[in-house]
Amino acid sequence: MTWQAENARFRQRRPDWQCRTWSTLLQGVATAMNGSGPWARKPRWSSHKPTCLAMVSLFRLALAACLMPDVFASLGLCSAVKPYSYSLAKVQFPHLKAALETVETQPIATWYTDRDIDSKHQAALAVGNCPKGSRPTIVVYGLPNKDCQDHHSTDGANKTPEQYVQFLTDLSTTVGDNNVVYILEPDAVGLLVGGSACATTFEYERNLINAVSLLGRNPQADIYIDIGFWVLGPANDAKIARVLSKLDPTGTRLKGISINTSNFRTTSELVQMCGNFSATARATANRTVTCVLDVSRNFAGPDPTSQWCNPKGRGIGRPPTILSGERLIDYMLWIKPPGESDGNCNGGPTAGAFFLDGFVELWNNGYFVQAKGMNKVSAIAP
């Protein structure tokens, strides 16, 4: 599906996607009361029965979302930490400052990684500076020998399972019992299920079990294990469901999976993938699985050649939201900061560094220019 067709589809669905109906609002209250859905376990739902006041408040939020969708779409999500790469880029490329500031106002995930000695401080800021009732998204990316197949991100301080446990314990202590969305170890399950021998050699499964156990001590944490979209499908879905059962035998701590992290697949494709996998997980492992989607760079869809590493012509996606309009989608997030490199490929710098040409393409082909009519930018200062 082209990005034009994808956007036409969402314009047609706008009343359902952004201007929630009464039935959807009531369903949101009911699911929260039952302990599911993105608002579950919050004090305002967990200890009170639905009241007229609650209904009125939800209706007012829905009406505001209709009138000012970009402002209200991300209510409930928080991004107290701006990507450090953007701070450097605004100094180095001042002509991009307005575009970068527009992007960084969105709730972008904070990456807690053993590749950054300041990660613990960043996680503390992400949690401590968020308003009460909202939640930051923290990507946990510290697996020993991570990215063992492509080696773009293998460097890091964690070399042993014991170091990884300490890394996780530090994060758990920092976050405490605050609201948080965790995205665990991008690509790890994909490598396990996809048959990469290195994932077994480096004990990915053992380390992921520790991650779910330690971070799951926080009852306010929504935990999603990342699944590489390329392994989702009839050939692997049952196998993935069995892996989830090993990581969370009780079925109480893993809320679901994240799809499309740092990738470019269209939202409609991801919703279908989530639905198919959820049905398989329910049938084969008796698990209820919901999903979060990384839509940070999917406005124009994937590269026609399936190039995933700094492909040209891609676009920044629609803003993050908890109002997905899809029963099985808890959040649409920006997990990968738009403009950060995927690695040393297609002219890009080291993974995670700001990529000038990449940001320019994402901005010019993305939501803010193509849907909102904002000005294009150039890699060359005027």
DSSP state of 22: H
CB 320: neighbour CB atoms within 10 A?
25
Looking at residue 239, its amino acid is: K
Give the torsion sign (CA, 144, 78, 129, 221): negative
Note whether 5 and 269 are within 8 A (CB). Answer: no
Query: In this structure, what are the phi and psi dihedrals at residue 32, rounded to the nearest 5 degrees?
Result: -65, -40
CA 311 centroid distance within chain: 20
Give the torsion sign (CA, 352, 354, 357, 358): positive
Looking at residue 31, its amino acid is: T
Structure tokens that stand for 64 in this block: 């505001």
Euclidean distance between CA atoms 137 and 119, whole angstroms:
14
Euclidean distance between CA atoms 8 and 350, whole angstroms:
36
Indicate the SS3 state at residue 71.
helix
Euclidean distance between CA atoms 24 and 58, whole angstroms:
10
CA 272 centroid distance within chain: 17
Structure tokens that stand for 74 in this block: 């991300």
- The packing angle between helices 267-285 and 237-247, to 10°, is 70
Note whether 290 and 181 are within 8 A (CB). Answer: no
- The packing angle between helices 52-67 and 22-33, to 10°, is 130
Among 174, 185, 139, 98, CA closest to 376: 98
> What amino acid positions are annotated as catalytic residues?
147, 187, 342
